Amino acid sequence: MLLATSRRGIPNVMAMSWHMMVEFTPPQIACIVSNRNHSFEALRRTKECVIGIPPAEFLETVVAIGNCSGADTDKFESLGIARKPARHVAAPLLPDCFANLECRVIDTRMVNAYCMFILEVVQAWIDPERRDARMVHHQGWGKFAVDGRTIRLPSGKA
């Protein structure tokens, strides 16, 4: 997962390692951004971001994003990352990702203790050309898993 921010008109993107769904309606996500990370202050001050869900083919760029800091590197320029304006937030959409979630911070009560932000998704975008894109899952220390086979089981709902 990628997290894009924009503070004072300067965009940045980071590789986000911890997140989870909190609620489906309205869609809410919890994410942890270390207070040692350049994106922390941008997210804390602007209270908005874009979460990008990259396809497996973008994995090397995702790793490169995570291996440099936006404090001293324009990652969009140096890594050739595409961006385009979002509809509801100042942070850019990431067109290389098959899905983008425009988010606003709705709860900061756990930021000081745990660096945890609660986000509400205000707009979701999916690239219809990449509807079947394989997702990447970070397992830690340079190890990743890529989605493969889809298994469908009855859920009990009609």
pLDDT tens digits, one per residue of 78-108: 999 999 999 999 999 999 999 999 999 999 9
Residue carrying the six token digits 């830690």: 140
Specify the 3-state DSSP secondary structure of 78.
helix
Specify the 3-state DSSP secondary structure of 148.
coil
pLDDT tens digits, one per residue of 18-69: 999 999 999 999 999 999 999 999 999 999 999 999 999 999 999 999 999 9
- pLDDT, residue 73, reads 95
- pLDDT, residue 158, reads 54
Domains of the chain: 2-146 (2.30.110.10)
Specify the 3-state DSSP secondary structure of 63.
helix
pLDDT tens digits, one per residue of 5-17: 999 999 999 999 8
